Structure 1
Amino acid sequence: MQTAKKIIIIGGGIGGAATALALHRAGLEPVVYERTKELQEVGAGIALWANATHILRNLDLLEDAIHVGYLTTNYQFNSQSGKELVNIAVDGFELPVIGIHRAELHQLLWRNVQEKFVLEQTFKRLEQQEEKIRAHFSSGLSVEGDALIGADGLRSRVRAALLGEQPPIYRNFKTWRGLTDYIPGGYRPGYIQEFLGRGKSFGFMMLGKERMYWYAAARAPLAQPDAPSGHKKELETMFQDWFASVPELILATDEANILTTDLYDRAPTQPWSKQNVTLLGDAAHPMLPTMGQGACTALEDAFVVAKCLREQADPITAFQQYESQRFPRTKLIVEQSLRAGKMGELDNPLSLLLRNTFMKLMGVTISNSFKSLHAYRA
């Protein structure tokens, strides 16, 4: 078998960009095919936990991420009215936790490999040719490589080509994400503060450049139409009687800076690789955002797949090794994220009281579980 040299990557988001950078640094030749006209991540923030900042350190990007992000010290869960349920210190690792805008992280990842990106190319199908793989695009472009990685998100076309059409599972929640320069008076610096109510939740955290990122989730039927009054008015009504910082943040955010998405995942299944083709990030293991691990696990995937391709001459063996290393961890996180989502579905006042009491009593256990998740080093 020959060494995998040219690696085709479908999708240029955070997972695809991180994979291109990791492969480039491993001495391989990645080329990323992205369907959009320009590389940009929409306005949302993410927490990069220590398991993800470990990857940034290995890619020599940690100092840059610290510079454009904001150091996070605590993750605090509260009742709807603001009573503390659990307070988890997250600054006890050898690596920092960083609040960062998705676009800032994306910029850090792709700036060193931007010449490896081919834009406005929508993947159509793939074709096995002996030891090579050929990707065809709707533009008529056709390219050949030694291996192909699908990093094309929740509704991955590479996944459909590999495993057949299997729709993701709607989990009865929609989410809103907002960005504002307003910092509420009660904000505790360094904190992610999350508030849990009846079938709803709201959280916020600082990003770099003195920006506040917030997110809300609520139970909703599939494809529920947006409120005619707009996202902002809808949220103002939904959260009007919550802890003061919550309605303040909604009020301070421009309508244009509020995004909404329905929440999906997939039951963890194998395989997600076939011969010299594999999947990565949301294409392989989409998860609910309740554990904040979507982008973090995509960064882990990128680092591990590059390591396997560097160590194994045969991409088929490399992808088998990559999947066997990544499946147990990502399965665990997908399932934990779903369990956390179900806790947020509770609507009955007694169930809420029991949940809040349980969280208070199990604070140490929750904290330890959280820390073990972030202590992982790919």
Structure 2
Amino acid sequence: MQTTKKIIIVGGGIGGAATAFALNRAGFEVAVYERTSELREVGAGIALWANATHVLKNLGLLEDAIRVGNPITNYQFNSQSGKELINVAVNRFDLPVLGIHRADLHALLWSNVPREKFVLGQLFERFEQVGDKIRAYFASGLMVDGDALIGADGLKSRVRAGLFGDYPPIYRNFTTWRGLTDYIPSGYRSSYIREFFGPAKAFGFMMLGKNRMYWYAAAKAPEGQPDSALGRKRELEQMFQGWFPSILELIAATDEANILKTDLYDRIPTRPWSKQNITLLGDAAHPMLPTLGQGACMALEDAVVITKCLQAQSNPTSAFQQYESQRFARTKSIVEQSLRSGKMGELENRYAVALRNTFMKLMGAAINNSFHTIHAYRV
């Protein structure tokens, strides 16, 4: 039933690139408009859980991802000193779980789409309906017509603001730091993600492909808090003094320039995402905290579902309604679970932290089942 001639995608990150790949592979005409002048993905590492590697398999990219990623078999939760609380086996599926650098995943996606499909250095400004078409305007003066428009332009999406108003996302009381190093710490366990929880702070690390260690830290903090005069590295060393030894080893081994700092936001899940032949995808539609590691995975799922809906429906409006109805309940659940998980990390009183750790140990089976439910999903 495919009759759509041209799909405009605003945003060339993982969600936009995956959607361009899936649509191009399905025979659609697609054009991606990205505001940066270079097609690259910032950030550091991500975990691709089995629900996401299933998408890559369907897109014919899994073997390439395995070559540039690192297999993960276990997700281990620990106290700040390193005492195991829960150990979740994540290799129980028919598909692997991978630790991968965001840039490597991004490169796999866009390198399999003709380069002329990506138009760089184009800041989206607004859209308008022109009959049954959509017209997009950019700051450069570029004007583009298409049959449908997908906003894959992230947390502070301009497409979303054009559809529903410019309402800010919700700050969730945490700042995160991310780092990348070639150093392998003494407490590294092959194929493990290891996370450590203390009073209103957490730290985790895992191996990515190409023998790189990715680490991430989070701490309760006011929104927009400036860096310490000591610098990010020294601030983190003080923050995690006395924690599991590998944590300080990793911070010490990371160049200051390779430490990224970001405040954490999400939005309350609401509908609609779409109006007529315009819709949202990934963080533009359903931003979530990184506590379950599902943000990029949800964008990959979105890309496949939106492609299937556009193949099944000749009218983009109908396709986007179908896409939204198929995706809303799942993404809403994961946004809410991610927030609940984040709130568990806000506890500061040491007695409350001890109770939380005991609770986590007692709830090990339930947490295992929850992970299985999320990761066993197949689009």
* Shift of residue 69, structure 1, vs aligned partner: 0.3
Task: Quote the Cα distance in structure 2 between the aligned partners of 1:338 and 1:136.
Answer: 35
Aligned pair count reads 378
8 A Cα contact 2:179 2:260, kept in partner: yes
SS of equivalent residue, structure 1 residue 186: coil
Q: Tell which deviates more after alignment, 343-352 or 277-286.
A: 343-352
The aligned residue for residue 83 of structure 1 is 83
SS of equivalent residue, structure 1 residue 256: helix
Matched, 1:34 2:34: yes
Q: Tell which deviates more after alignment, 252-261 or 2-11.
A: 2-11
SS of equivalent residue, structure 1 residue 320: helix
Task: Quote the Cα distance in structure 1 between the aligned partners of 2:350 and 2:173.
Answer: 19
Matched, 1:179 2:180: yes
Task: Quote the Cα distance in structure 2 between the aligned partners of 1:293 and 1:63.
Answer: 21
Q: Which amino acid aligns with 2:278?
A: V
Task: Quote the Cα distance in structure 2 between the aligned partners of 1:36 and 1:283.
Answer: 17
The aligned residue for residue 51 of structure 1 is 51
8 A Cα contact 1:43 1:257, kept in partner: no
Q: Deviations over 1:213-251 (max 9, x none)?
A: 000000000111111111100000000110001111000
* Shift of residue 115, structure 1, vs aligned partner: 2.2
* Shift of residue 185, structure 1, vs aligned partner: 1.3
Task: Quote the Cα distance in structure 2 between the aligned partners of 1:165 and 1:255.
Answer: 34
Aligned residue runs from structure 1 range 161-200, under 5 A: 161-200=162-201
Task: Quote the Cα distance in structure 1 between the aligned partners of 2:220 and 2:256.
Answer: 21
* Shift of residue 350, structure 1, vs aligned partner: 1.4
Matched, 1:155 2:156: yes
Q: Deviations over 1:126-162 (max 9, x none)?
A: 0001110000001000000000000000000000000
SS of equivalent residue, structure 1 residue 345: coil
The aligned residue for residue 115 of structure 1 is 116
Matched, 1:234 2:229: no
8 A Cα contact 1:159 1:283, kept in partner: yes
The aligned residue for residue 322 of structure 1 is 323
Task: Quote the Cα distance in structure 2 between the aligned partners of 1:2 and 1:209.
Answer: 41
Matched, 1:146 2:147: yes
SS of equivalent residue, structure 1 residue 36: coil
Aligned residue runs from structure 1 range 1-378, under 5 A: 3-113=3-113, 114-378=115-379
Task: Quote the Cα distance in structure 2 between the aligned partners of 1:268 and 1:260.
Answer: 25
SS of equivalent residue, structure 1 residue 92: coil
* Shift of residue 338, structure 1, vs aligned partner: 0.3
SS of equivalent residue, structure 1 residue 16: helix
Task: Quote the Cα distance in structure 2 between the aligned partners of 1:112 and 1:81.
Answer: 44
Q: Deviations over 1:322-354 (max 9, x none)?
A: 000000000000000000000000111111111
Task: Quote the Cα distance in structure 2 between the aligned partners of 1:258 and 1:232.
Answer: 8
SS of equivalent residue, structure 1 residue 313: coil
Q: Which amino acid aligns with 1:53?
A: T
* Shift of residue 43, structure 1, vs aligned partner: 3.7
TM-score w.r.t. length of structure 2: 0.99
Task: Quote the Cα distance in structure 1 between the aligned partners of 2:65 and 2:202.
Answer: 28
Task: Quote the Cα distance in structure 2 between the aligned partners of 1:95 and 1:87.
Answer: 19
Q: How many percent of aligned residue pairs carry the same amino acid?
A: 74
* Shift of residue 40, structure 1, vs aligned partner: 1.0
8 A Cα contact 1:43 1:179, kept in partner: no
Task: Quote the Cα distance in structure 1 between the aligned partners of 2:349 and 2:312.
Answer: 53
Q: Which amino acid aligns with 2:29?
A: E
8 A Cα contact 1:282 1:298, kept in partner: yes
Task: Quote the Cα distance in structure 1 between the aligned partners of 2:227 and 2:148.
Answer: 41
* Shift of residue 186, structure 1, vs aligned partner: 1.7
Task: Quote the Cα distance in structure 1 between the aligned partners of 2:182 and 2:38.
Answer: 26
SS of equivalent residue, structure 1 residue 209: helix
Task: Quote the Cα distance in structure 2 between the aligned partners of 1:28 and 1:260.
Answer: 38
Q: Which amino acid aligns with 1:275?
A: Q
Task: Quote the Cα distance in structure 2 between the aligned partners of 1:8 and 1:58.
Answer: 23
Task: Quote the Cα distance in structure 2 between the aligned partners of 1:133 and 1:41.
Answer: 28
Task: Quote the Cα distance in structure 2 between the aligned partners of 1:360 and 1:155.
Answer: 37
Runs of 4+ aligned structure 1 residues displaced above 4 Å come to: none
Q: Deviations over 1:181-224 (max 9, x none)?
A: 01111211000000000000000000001000000000000111
8 A Cα contact 2:2 2:311, kept in partner: no
Q: Which amino acid aligns with 1:192?
A: I
| Alignment gaps of 5+ in structure 2 | none
* Shift of residue 2, structure 1, vs aligned partner: 8.2
8 A Cα contact 2:2 2:313, kept in partner: no
TM-score w.r.t. length of structure 1: 0.99
* Shift of residue 65, structure 1, vs aligned partner: 0.2
* Shift of residue 165, structure 1, vs aligned partner: 1.0
8 A Cα contact 2:172 2:265, kept in partner: yes
Q: Deviations over 1:258-287 (max 9, x none)?
A: 000000000000001000000000000000
